[in-house]
Amino acid sequence: MIEIVIVVACILIAFSIGSNDTSNAFGISIGCGLLNLKKALILLFVLVLIGVNVQGQSVMKTVGKDLVGLSSKSLAVSLIVASLVIVLANWRKFPLSSHQVIIGSLTGSAISLGLNVNHITLIKIVLSWIISPISSFFLAIIFYKFIEKSLSRYPVFVAERIFSFLLLISALIIAYNTGANELATAIGAVVHYGILSSLNAGIIGAVSLFLGALILSYRVIETVGKGITTLDILSGFSAQFSAGISVWIFTTIGMPVSTTYCIIGGIFGVGFLKGIETVRIDLLKKIVFSWILAPFTGFLFSFVVGKIA
DSSP at 196: S
pLDDT in tens, 19-64: 766 666 776 677 667 777 788 888 889 999 999 999 999 999 999 9
Estimate to the nearest angstrom the gap between the alpha carbon of 173 and the chain centroid: 12
Residue 157 exposed, middle or buried by CB count within 10 Å (0-12, 13-18, 19+)? exposed
Which pLDDT score is estimated for 213? 83
The C-alpha angle 10, 16, 17, rounded to 5 degrees, equals 90
Inter-residue contact 99 to 294 (CB < 8 Å): no
**Short-list 173, 135, 186, 219, CA closest to 50:** 173
Q: How many whole angstroms separate alpha carbon 261 and alpha carbon 165?
A: 24
pLDDT in tens, 96-124: 678 889 999 999 999 999 999 999 999 99
Q: How many whole angstroms separate alpha carbon 278 and alpha carbon 222?
A: 17
Amino acid at 178: T
